[in-house]
Amino acid sequence: MRGIIYYTLMTHQSPVALFQRWQSSIDDIRLVGATLLGAISIVVGIYLPWLQSNPAREVIRHVYLPGMSSGLEFDVTLALLLLIAVSVAMSILVGYSQFTAMIFVLTGLSSIALPSYLLLDIYAVYGGDFIPQIGSLLTILGGTVVLVTGIAVFINKL
């Protein structure tokens, strides 16, 4: 259950043999697909807008808030991107283990908590003048997928 880099450094095997061994180390292709789907949706969600003015309001505030053009306007989202990179890299390099599952759970929880907290904070200040946009919802959905994947990997490794 070790990754391709470990075998390259320790066994000096050919890349084809390493790739075949890496493929056999993956227990369930559904976990790999869910990991990649969740990670991609989080990354795409971070690049999309998180907020928009509520068009149902009679008076629309002409205020520009962070997150109205991209989730990257928040400084904390860079840490979230780093967590995504570490999660995917750990699953490729090390394989699925309990440590990888803990990183997935941490990534999933932070991907759910960050947009939720920011949206609730903006709602508390401005009321219903601003509503969530597709980017925040996609980030929360991807975080949920990564969280469930982490729990599934942890249960499989017990």
Span 80-110, pLDDT tens digits: 888 888 887 777 677 777 888 888 898 899 9
Domain hosting residue 40, numbered range: 27-156
137 part of a folded domain: yes
17 part of a folded domain: no
Span 11-23, pLDDT tens digits: 555 666 555 555 5
CA distances from 52 to 49, 88, 113, 135 (A): 8, 31, 20, 11
Q: What is the pLDDT of residue 53?
A: 82
| Residue burial 49-78, b: 16+ Cβ < 10 Å; e: rest | bbbbbeeeeeeeeeeebbbebebbebeebe
Q: What is the pLDDT of residue 20?
A: 58
Span 53-87, pLDDT tens digits: 888 877 766 777 777 778 777 777 778 888 888 88
22 part of a folded domain: no
At residue 4, does pLDDT exceed 60? no
46 part of a folded domain: yes
116 part of a folded domain: yes
Query: Between residues 96 and 111, which one has the greater pLDDT?
Result: 111
Q: What is the pLDDT of residue 109?
A: 92
Give the pLDDT band (50/70/90) at residue 137.
very high
Domains contained in the chain, number: 1
Compute the half-sphere exposure of residue 145: CA atoms within 13 Å on the CB side of its CA.
Answer: 21
70 part of a folded domain: yes
151 part of a folded domain: yes
135 neighbors 48 (Cβ within 8 angstroms): yes
5 part of a folded domain: no
pLDDT averaged over every residue in the chain: 78
